[in-house]
Structure 1
Amino acid sequence: MNVSIFSWIMPEHTSDLLSCWISRGGRKSKKKWWSIIPSCIWWCIWKERNSRCYDNKANSIEKVKWNCLTTFYFWCKEEGIEEAAQILDFIGTL
């Protein structure tokens, strides 16, 4: 993967960030995966934030990442993406 093609600057607006994610992927199923990733990350960070603010519980960064990956896996399954081995391979590339 050529890292020079990526912009390493965070977009100013959420809509610009989402449009960056939409252009990722390849095959139709992988495009669907890429469309799930931003929501999954935001959901997991929001849950972690609430846990820290309201329950005074904090997970390690490794646990937060693990929660994101497992949430992504189950959301893909819920969306009807049944190729479990492919989902796990895809997660391994992230």
Structure 2
Amino acid sequence: MCKRAGESVNHLMIHCEYAQELWSMIFCLFGISWAMPQTTYELLHCWRRKGPTYVVWNAIPSCLMWLLWRERNQRAFEDAERHSADLKLILIRTLMEWTAAISSQSFPSVFAFIDGCM
């Protein structure tokens, strides 16, 4: 996807420059300092939190990885590429929609959703 390293799950989902930008944005939104693990398995293993207040938090890895996989496939098979700013906006909107779909939370705007993450 980034055309800089061999494709592996760990590279695509964690270490690729596009993945790193998305993860950094998420950590910034939540005001968290996080040292990324080396593998996707380790990331997923330590991510999950229990309780109703963690609906958005728990959806992040699935949403972000799904977005990266879709973008990777578009680049590989459809010769279509989105800018990282577009990917960030799509991630926030998708995360907001997924949160609304799996919980009783709804947000009148993307800005309200972002405020709710802080």
Same-fold status (TM-score > 0.5)? yes
1:41 aligns with 2:67: no
| Matched AA of 1:65 | K
CA shift in 2, pair 1:89/1:29, >3 Å: farther
TM-score if structure 2 supplies the norm length? 0.60
Correspondence 1:11 to 2:74: no
**CA 1:2–1:52: 2 relative to 1, 3 Å:** closer
User: Matches of 2:37 and 2:60 in 1, distance apart?
Assistant: 17
Between the aligned residues of both structures, percent identity stands at 26
- Where does the alignment leave 5 or more consecutive residues of structure 1 unmatched? none
Q: Of the two structures, which has the highest relative contact order with CA contacts closer than 8 Å and spacing of 6 or more? A: 2
> Match of 1:29?
52
Q: Is 2:107 the partner of 1:84? A: yes
CA distance in 2, matches of 1:83, 1:57: 32
Is the CA contact 2:71–2:81 (under 8 Å) kept in the aligned structure 1? yes
Q: Displacement of 1:18 after TM fit? A: 1.7
* Separation in structure 1 between the aligned mates of residue 79 and residue 89 of structure 2, nearest angstrom: 20
| CA distance in 1 between partners of 2:73 and 2:58 (Å) | 24
State the aligned residue count.
Answer: 86
Q: Give the root-mean-square deviation of aligned CA atoms.
A: 2.6
Aligned to 2:5: none
